[in-house]
Amino acid sequence: MDYSVREVDEIIGHHCDGGDGALIAILEEMQARYRYLPRDVMILVSERVGIPLSQVYSVATFYNAFSLERRGRHEICVCVGTACHVRGAQRVLTHLENKLGIKAGESTPDWNYYLETVNCLGACALGPIVVTDGQYHGQMSERKADQLLLQIEQAYQEEV
């Protein structure tokens, strides 16, 4: 992922009021922009904000929302917690892994998709649950998962 020092400075400028939440807000915007936190970007943030790099890393590794590795453009998360598991989450996960040709925790080679699992999303009654780009989809099945992939693909085609 390419980034420029100017871009990084712009993002930091959006949160220049400082305060305790500034670092998290900066990292959130970096994550949204680049879909991960490149090491060089974290070094720049550390230098510009005047926070030790170890502290920046500490925050970046504490929150699940941050990733130190590049992720595909569209994030698909399958809940494999107990309630979702007994309702067929593993079948849905295996189906998505086969369709995308990757395992959970990986991105597709074209960087279009990133697939991951989670152990509970707190909405067990709706299981199995799949989250695509932050949107929750309940009572998931292999057929519905195919529809989700199609919707993502169609939305992407309309963007380009």
79 binds ligand FES (CB under 6 A): yes
**Which CB sits closer to ligand FES, 49 or 83?**
83
104 binds ligand FES (CB under 6 A): no
In which residue are the tokens 């030790």 written?
Answer: 52
Residue range at the interface with ligand FES (CB under 6 A); choices 14-22, 81-89, 99-107, 144-152: 81-89
State which of positions 30-69 bind ligand FES (CB under 6 A): none
**Can you tell me the distance from the alpha carbon of 62 to that of 18, in angstroms, rounded to the nearest whole number?**
20
**What tokens were used for 37?**
């936190």
Q: What torsion do the CA atoms of 49, 54, 55, 61 make, to the nearest 10 degrees?
A: 120
Q: In what order do the strands lie in the sheet with 106-107?
A: 106-107, 113-118, 74-79, 130-132, 135-137
Facing residues of 76 across strands? 115, 132
**Which CB sits closer to ligand FES, 38 or 88?**
88
Shortest gap between Cβ of 26 and ligand FES (angstroms)? 30
Q: Which of 25, 102, 104, 120 binds ligand FES (CB under 6 A)?
A: 120
* Collapsed DSSP state (helix, strand, coil) of residue 24: helix
Contact residues: ligand FES, CB under 6 A: 79, 81-84, 120-124, 127, 129
